[in-house]
Structure 1
Amino acid sequence: MMNIDVVYIQDLSSEMHNVLKNNQLGSLPIECKNFLLRSVLKRSTYKSVGICFIDISNLQLKTYLFKKELEKIIYFDEINNTLYGYYWNIGDDYVKITVRSINLLNRHEKDILEIPIVESKLWENHLKQEGINNFLTPYPLFFEMVNFRYIIIIHDKFFPSNSNNKWQIYVIDLVENKFYSYIYDNDPKKPFPISYIRYFPVSNTDGFVFIKFGQIDAEEKEMYWPPKNSKMTQHFWEAFAFYPLNKFIEDIKNQKLFLDAYIVERISENFSFRFLDDIESIKDLCFYYIKKSIKTNLSRLIKLELKNYTKETMQTSINLDNKFLHYNNGLLTAISLSIEEINDKQNLLRINKEFLNGNNTKSVNILLSKEEQFMLDIMYKYILKHDLFLTFSPRFDYRDIPKHYKIKVYSLESSSAFLEFITKYPLSSPFTITLVEKNKANDEFLLIL
């Protein structure tokens, strides 16, 4: 049986109690080999006001509070121990984004580059027209530091006129210490506005910019199908592209973007599209997605080889509605969850784990109390890696009032809880839980709260 020790960040450093009086711990989209990093968020604004990092080998914790609040931390260079983030700078002339670096060794902070996004007066007039009294900063569609050198920002081309077909793209080159600006003006005759962008890394320096086109997603499409007229039909069309990162950056610098050349699938109004939102398969240069015929209700599982953009149908008839897909070590896994009410006090949770390219299935039934709930992202993650999941009670409160929670850790092998405890400190919801492998050979883990 797995042995899990519960560790609280507050107990690793006496200063954390003072830090958390007006702040709370957040999570970071950053994986490190030797450290666990948590952002420190200001409760009133949820801006990043600091960072705490734990050395996993000895559980030593250090905290660094920033001199300048950040809108978001976007990258951690583990080799040089340098964090990168950004904040909005509201000037008389422009609303700007300022990129900032923080060296955690010498505690040196500096602004690297400033990017003017929109004229301040035009933005203020826009907010008034929308009936917004408080000043809000623009919301980028995409803002990511993709490696130690490049940052990509994509947002609506706000003015002189708002348009779903016009996008402002910035590539920031930290080595050259300059940025490149490009306006992508989609052909208005093609109803393919950009709706979603994500970066999939393959290595530390290269990867793919995934771009989804279309005005509605799969759920909306299936709900409102069939389209009532030709104009509505156009809104149902979709497409997606895989743009190699280095080529994308080169083309932005050269003021040419060839999106059509990297579109790998165009989907008509009679089909819907879902994809595996996971980076592991991309590292093996393959991408899995589901193409469903809304007419026949049949779905195909398709594998896209990113080396040469060839497609292969893995399964011709597959039902993956409401299932979470995950790829690991060559295995494509689908997890589905369902809950059935047993009585006034209990629910029956059914977990089904299916290996799509191995024809194996594992099903587990577990009784839960009515109070117990779970966070899906944590649940899927731990089911996939360790065949366990966590429940929390009482139920989360939308007012986000810190409170004590009862946490149960269940094993899929025994279908029962093998660890149960009430949190030592009040926690804010949603809170971050990290399971760290301490000793793989002896199944020893740390659950860090």
Structure 2
Amino acid sequence: MSFQILYMHDICPDYKEFLKTLDFHAKVRNNIFSISSPQKIGNVFLVSIFKNFNDLDEKNKMVGLFFFNLSTFENKLYFFKNSYYQMMFFDDKNYIFYGCRYIVENNLLKIDVCEVNLYKHIEKIVIEVPITNLNSSEQLLNVNLNIKMLNNQYIIIFVENLNQNEFKIILIDIVNEKYYIYEPKNSCGDYLLYTFSFMDYLLPDDNGNNGYILIKTGRIQSYEKERLWNNDNINCIVDALETFILYPQNKFIQDIISQKPYFDSYLVDCSLRNSSFDLYNFIDGQYYFYAKYNFDKNKTALIKINLRNLTKQDSYVVDGIVYPLFRDKEGNFLYSNVLKNKKLLREKLK
């Protein structure tokens, strides 16, 4: 059996000509454009194209997209009429791109959710959503948005305005062109959100479109917490409490619409001052893995969660606090161990 290696730039002449404009040996800022690593969605490979604006405050840097269908060899290099902040979703069947744009008008930050049909060359704004008020344009640097598109209908945005100590959750329904805003009210586990760290979306295999909203709280890194623990300085740290929430997607949507979310009901794990955890986004079928570091016991545990019933169990426990963890192509979990001769050895978790 023989194999032939095909390169995307050889199949698409337009993409090949575009790549000639890039100097891969130069610093990024010396190129007008830069590209992302290829991303596989369904049977389609995507490469995002960004423009390196001189304005450091410019948020909308995604200006184009190259796609290549692995089954049909269909391919296209497309430059948008407007630039985008990020891609939220790509419909690999109909070649429809969903993205969002930052818009600032009269000190109001808004998000335009847009749909781009790459075949018909149609770009349209689906809905415009107000996000937060700004005191000045410089304040935009202190606004953090976690944006995830859950399915063809719903988008969630976790908004942090650090200057105004503001936190809110926005649920966008692009089918009915509505949006819902939830701000913590000191009830139903809202206190867990006061040290919000990040949000992600998990979709287990064979689970249809019903995934989980992953919420991590506690603005502290594991290595920082370990150092504070070792120096007996952990008691003065407000963000020392970490929590890990898995909120079922459909229930989350219902609860935000009804303005009655129950974050503490979906608490998976918490770390007090004597422990910490890292969420590496390791997913294997219906299982999700994360690492927990117990400083008082000097142990590292890799914990497995069944995403069908949210039961959990220790998969591996090793002596010492070891991070980061890795996963090889065979699915083995590894950690790095520095030997006495200062050589780095990657060992399997046992």
Same fold (TM over 0.5): yes
Amino acid at match of 2:169: I
Instruction: Call closer, same or farther: CA 1:310–1:338 in 2, change over 3 Å.
Output: closer
- Which shows bigger deviation, 241-250 or 31-40? 31-40
Instruction: Name the residue aligned to 2:258.
Output: 254
State the Cα deviation string for residues 91-119 of structure 1 (Å, max 9, x = none). 22522110110012211110111111223
- 1:180 and 2:184 matched: no
Task: Write the distance in 2 (CA, Å) between the matches of 1:113 and 1:105.
Answer: 22
Correspondences of 1:83-232 after superposition (within 5 Å): 83-92=97-106, 94-120=108-134, 122-124=135-137, 127=139, 136=140, 139-157=143-161, 162-163=164-165, 166-185=166-185, 193-202=195-204, 203=207, 205-226=209-230, 228=232, 232=236
Shift of 1:258: 0.8
Instruction: Call closer, same or farther: CA 1:320–1:149 in 2, change over 3 Å.
Output: farther
Amino acid at match of 2:100: Y
Shift of 1:230: 8.0
Kept in 1: contact 2:326–2:335 (CA 8 A) = no
1:76 aligned to 60, 76, 90, which one?
Answer: 90
Shift of 1:53: 1.0
Task: Write the distance in 1 (CA, Å) between the matches of 2:234 and 2:222.
Answer: 19
Shift of 1:19: 3.4
Task: Write the distance in 2 (CA, Å) between the matches of 1:220 and 1:103.
Answer: 46
Task: Write the distance in 2 (CA, Å) between the matches of 1:348 and 1:265.
Answer: 35
Instruction: Name the residue aligned to 1:308.
Output: 309
Amino acid at match of 1:180: Y
Kept in 2: contact 1:239–1:263 (CA 8 A) = yes
Amino acid at match of 1:218: S
Identity within the alignment, %: 27
Correspondences of 1:224-243 after superposition (within 5 Å): 224-226=228-230, 228=232, 232-243=236-247
Instruction: Call closer, same or farther: CA 1:138–1:59 in 2, change over 3 Å.
Output: farther
State the Cα deviation string for residues 126-158 of structure 1 (Å, max 9, x = none). 63xxxxxxxx46643411112221111111156
Task: Write the distance in 2 (CA, Å) between the matches of 1:4 and 1:272.
Answer: 48
State the Cα deviation string for residues 229-258 of structure 1 (Å, max 9, x = none). 685154322111110011111111111221
Shift of 1:266: 2.0
Shift of 1:337: 5.2
Amino acid at match of 1:49: V
Amino acid at match of 2:197: S
Aligned length in residues = 329
Task: Write the distance in 2 (CA, Å) between the matches of 1:191 and 1:210.
Answer: 12
Instruction: Name the residue aligned to 2:27.
Output: none
Kept in 1: contact 2:84–2:101 (CA 8 A) = yes
Amino acid at match of 2:295: I
- 1:34 and 2:43 matched: yes
Instruction: Name the residue aligned to 1:291.
Output: 292
- 1:25 and 2:25 matched: no
- 1:63 and 2:73 matched: no
Task: Write the distance in 2 (CA, Å) between the matches of 1:3 and 1:339.
Answer: 40
Kept in 1: contact 2:172–2:180 (CA 8 A) = yes
Which ranges in structure 2 are unaligned for 5 or more consecutive residues?
22-31, 55-59
Instruction: Name the residue aligned to 1:54.
Output: 68
Task: Write the distance in 2 (CA, Å) between the matches of 1:151 and 1:189.
Answer: 23
Kept in 1: contact 2:192–2:264 (CA 8 A) = no
Correspondences of 1:331-370 after superposition (within 5 Å): 333-336=332-335, 350-352=345-347, 354=348, 356=349
Partner of 2:41, secondary structure, is coil
Partner of 1:111, secondary structure, is strand
State the Cα deviation string for residues 407-444 of structure 1 (Å, max 9, x = none). xxxxxxxxxxxxxxxxxxxxxxxxxxxxxxxxxxxxxx
Instruction: Name the residue aligned to 2:26.
Output: none
Instruction: Call closer, same or farther: CA 1:52–1:213 in 2, change over 3 Å.
Output: same
Which ranges in structure 1 are unaligned for 5 or more consecutive residues?
128-135, 360-449
Correspondences of 1:243-282 after superposition (within 5 Å): 243-278=247-282, 280-281=283-284
Partner of 2:198, secondary structure, is strand
Shift of 1:272: 2.0
Instruction: Call closer, same or farther: CA 1:315–1:92 in 2, change over 3 Å.
Output: closer
| Structure whose alpha-carbon radius of gyration is higher | 1
Shift of 1:326: 3.8
Task: Write the distance in 2 (CA, Å) between the matches of 1:189 and 1:255.
Answer: 15
Amino acid at match of 1:12: I
Instruction: Call closer, same or farther: CA 1:183–1:327 in 2, change over 3 Å.
Output: farther
Instruction: Call closer, same or farther: CA 1:238–1:192 in 2, change over 3 Å.
Output: farther
Instruction: Call closer, same or farther: CA 1:191–1:42 in 2, change over 3 Å.
Output: closer
State the Cα deviation string for residues 299-323 of structure 1 (Å, max 9, x = none). 2333233333333233444557234
Kept in 1: contact 2:303–2:316 (CA 8 A) = yes
Instruction: Call closer, same or farther: CA 1:251–1:298 in 2, change over 3 Å.
Output: same
Task: Write the distance in 2 (CA, Å) between the matches of 1:76 and 1:96.
Answer: 22
State the Cα deviation string for residues 40-87 of structure 1 (Å, max 9, x = none). 211336811111111324645311111111111111012332100011
Instruction: Call closer, same or farther: CA 1:63–1:322 in 2, change over 3 Å.
Output: same
Amino acid at match of 2:181: S
What is the alpha-carbon root mean square deviation over aligned residues? 3.4
Instruction: Call closer, same or farther: CA 1:199–1:297 in 2, change over 3 Å.
Output: same
